[in-house]
Amino acid sequence: MSFLLFLFSGASVKTIAFDTWWHAECTRKAMVANGFSGDARLATQVSNYLTDFFPAYNIANEKLSHLNEKLAGLGIQRLALNGDLSFEFMHFDAVYSETDIEQNWKLLLDNTIGALRKYATSADVKPGFRLPVLFNIIGASLHTIQDFYSHSNWVTLNASLNKSPIPVWYDVDAADRKKMNLFTGAYPDGSSQGHKNHGDLNKDCSTRPFNKEAVEVAERASIDWVKRLIDSVSEVPWNDLKSYNIQKDLVLKRFLVKLDATFLTSSSISLDHFDGTNPAKFVFTPEKNIAREKNQARMALALTLNEYATNIALAGNTYQLPSPYWAGHKVYHITRDLAAGIMLNGKKYKASL
């Protein structure tokens, strides 16, 4: 397990999204406000996080390529994306004009509605996977709209106009949005001359300027987003999703409540991606000791990855999934549906796999 632990504790990755704590809070409030159960909320939070984990894992894996053979022996390579770039388009980065931002918003809503409709009715979805896949779609789409408020100049522009509270996207008429000179930061930093960098513009953690304002508007936007999806897609079994309860199902409860929830916190803390390097929120150490927090997180991560590796190796695990709640991302590749046509660095996503 030492190599698994080194993969996450020794690699530092650039922040590409609101840090995990803020994504999780925005998602929690969105689900609670729209009447979803605690288990439904957690499944959506995990889905939201996986949208960040895959590109972060790929970056770390590239930096540690000399360990690939040893990692392969532990099964960890099966968490990689095998060239799927759709996740890179899910963070509302590197979009430099109001026209492209407007189009991304339209496409994301259309794509999310289409994906929910597709996976709510498709006979290709294996028994037991349908509800997790629908949670995956909701969580991944929430991730992107939350990132807009962190990665764009929307918050600072509205703050400069003394707007309080800062409006969500749909509160402002399209004609007025066109006058705002909207843009998001270049990612990676320095990749686009003449444009502000992600590192200068983002509000991803509590030590960044305007983080509080960005989180507050992202929370309201997340509530609004889930309501829009509920109102738009009658094919989805919303009552089943809202009342989702696995507390008496010891197998699913182990996956979601024990493994996936621990993986969300421990891996993001190990990557300095829970709330930056000086977090306001601590999970494992109430006394707020950063060194001990990271050490505890690494130990929890090692145990979780060990159980994931055992799950992946099971003969009956056809798709080699760490958990059923990864199915939308790893089996059905729902981010390819969500990212279709989305703009990033002047290019539109088009699935090549």
The predicted pLDDT at position 66 comes to 38
The predicted pLDDT at position 12 comes to 41
Helices (H) and strands (E) in the chain, counts: 16, 2
pLDDT digits (tens, 9 = 90+) for 101-142: 999 999 999 999 999 999 999 999 998 999 999 999 999 999
Cα 186 off chain centre by: 19
User: Facing residues of 348 across strands?
Assistant: 343
Q: Which amino acid is at 68?
A: N
Residue ranges for the chain with pLDDT beneath 70 = 1-16, 55-83, 351-353
Cα angle, residue 163 at apex, residues 157 and 166 outer, rounded to 5°: 75
The predicted pLDDT at position 56 comes to 54
The predicted pLDDT at position 4 comes to 40
CB 19 within 8 A of CB 91: no
The predicted pLDDT at position 276 comes to 93
